[in-house]
Amino acid sequence: MNQNKRSITKKIAYGPLCPVFSLSWAVFASVQRLLFRAKWKLKGLPMPTDDEIKLMRENVTFIFKSFERKSSAKRLYRSIQKYYPGVKVIIADDSKKPLMLKSEHVKVVHLPFNSGLSKGLNKALALVDTPFAIRMDDDQVLTPYTTFHKHLQFLRSHSELDLISVFQYTASAPLSWQSKIKPYFKETMDEAPKPLKIPHGTFLDKSYVVMGKVPNVFVARTEKFREVGYDDNIRMTDHLEFFFRAAGVLASALALDSFVLHYHNPFNKKYKKFRGDIAGDCTYIKNKHPLYFE
């Protein structure tokens, strides 16, 4: 019954009314973002200080992958420069029509069409020349609660830690810390070939807790990030496989009071067609790790 409902819903969502749904969602997301901005402004939430911006400029490069969502990629770039003006950004783009974004602070790496997420992130990561890198997705934006500068400071003062992740909240989802935290406490990575460097669930302080797997938006030590890297043969489903291999190599923590906003339009039919093509990834991962991925 549930499968039939999903099938019917999918037919409606991606049928003739798909453009209407897509436009309606985009309008809703824009209004929601404006409301968030107004709320944060009324709260008087601070922007990064000049010293915090300088710290980021000298130590961090943002990297993300762009595919067939040029407006989203440009929105994220503007968001990064709003909070950390002058910071370096590297974008790997494999859109059919290349992303064009000119600025002294950004480098766009053009790849063959539909090269895949992993290959693009590896290309971007290879060009990073700062001690830390921040990995994001093109449909995210920074918020006053993202505070990458604080996570960078924490990493610099805790040599036992290699990576700090933040939550992502999807447009229209309730902003509940509890609902977002619970699933990650289950990601122990006990099945990984190597034990975690720091036990899963270890609180480093009240704001940071060690996790076997964390959200795919994080600041990390560049060399440790490269040591794990991504498998070019995995086009889209990199998340679990990355942290599976990262176990015992880098120590990851989740910031419990930090998040980015996630504006993924579920009615982007063209993007969904390529994003949902994961059968090859699943087969490859099962063959690569036959003892762990069934």
Residues 6+ apart with CB under 8 A from 189: 196, 200, 212, 213, 243, 244, 247
pLDDT band at 20 (very low <50, low <70, confident <90, very high): confident
Tell whether pTM > 0.75: yes
pLDDT per position as a tens digit, 131-152: 999 999 999 999 999 999 999 9
What is the rounded average pLDDT of the residues 190-206?
A: 94
Three-class SS of 48-70:
CCHHHHHHHHHHEEEEEEECCCH
- Phi first, then psi, for residue 70 (nearest 5°) are -60, -40
Q: How far is CA 220 from the centre of its chain?
A: 12
Query: Does the pLDDT of residue 235 top 60, yes or no?
Result: yes
**Higher pLDDT among residues 43 and 291, named by residue:** 43
Strands in the chain per DSSP E:
60-66, 88-93, 106-110, 132-137, 140-141, 163-170, 203-205, 208-210, 218-221, 252-262
pLDDT per position as a tens digit, 57-94: 999 999 999 999 999 999 999 999 999 999 999 999 99
CATH topology of domain 38-262: Spore Coat Polysaccharide Biosynthesis Protein SpsA; Chain A (3.90.550)
Q: Which amino acid is at 249?
A: V
> In whole angstroms, what is the distance from residue 149 CA to residue 53 CA?
8
Query: Does the pLDDT of residue 189 top 50, yes or no?
Result: yes
pLDDT per position as a tens digit, 250-281: 999 999 999 999 887 778 777 777 777 889 99
Q: Where are the domains of the chain?
A: 38-262
Residue 46 is classified by DSSP as: P
Query: Does the pLDDT of residue 8 top 60, yes or no?
Result: no
> In whole angstroms, what is the distance from residue 64 CA to residue 91 CA?
5
Virtual CA dihedral for 67, 70, 74, 75, nearest 10 degrees?
Answer: -90
pLDDT of residue 5: 47
